[in-house]
Amino acid sequence: MSNRTIRVNELLQRELSDILRKRYQTESVAITIAEVRVAPDLRDARVFISKAADIREQISRRIVLKFLPKFEYILDHSAIRGARILNVIDEIEHPRPPEEKE
């Protein structure tokens, strides 16, 4: 990945975070599901939300680029996996005693 791509990724991430933090921190945001595209095997789906267009417009006003990329929002499961790993480690370090039979 080129240095320019890395810088643009970081800039977009910072600006998106700033917009979401400032604009939506005190209000409840209603998100409209514009479209859902499910994979043929039904294991994956892309959900398109209408609020993303508003954010992209704001980004275009803040950042001057020849082409503003289209954003694809993907749910990050790393925190869930991390919590599962920590639970497994806790169980290994502190095993539960077997339940006594009555």
16-61, pLDDT tens digit by residue?
778 877 777 665 555 556 667 877 777 777 776 666 667 788 888 8
Question: Is the residue at 101 inside a domain?
Answer: no
Terminal Cα distance for the chain, rounded: 63
pLDDT band at 80; cut points 50, 70, 90: confident
Give CA–CA dist 77/56, Å, rounded.
24
> What does the pLDDT read at residue 93?
87
Closest CA to 65 of 12, 1, 6, 2: 12
- Domain of 10 in residue numbering reads as 3-93
Whether 99 is covered by a domain: the verdict is no
18 inside domain? yes
- The reply to whether 85 falls in a domain is yes
- Domain-located, residue 43: yes
Bigger pLDDT: 82 or 49? 82
Is residue 21 in a domain? Answer: yes
| pLDDT more than 70, % of the chain | 75
Residue type at position 42 = L
**Tally of domains in the chain:** 1
Which residues, in sequence order, are bridge partners of residue 38?
45
Residue 29's alpha-carbon distances to 22, 51, 74, 75, in angstroms, are 13, 9, 18, 18
Q: What are the residues facing 5 on neighbouring strands?
A: none
pTM for the model: 0.44
Is residue 102 a part of any domain in this protein? no
Whether 24 maps to a domain, the answer reads: yes
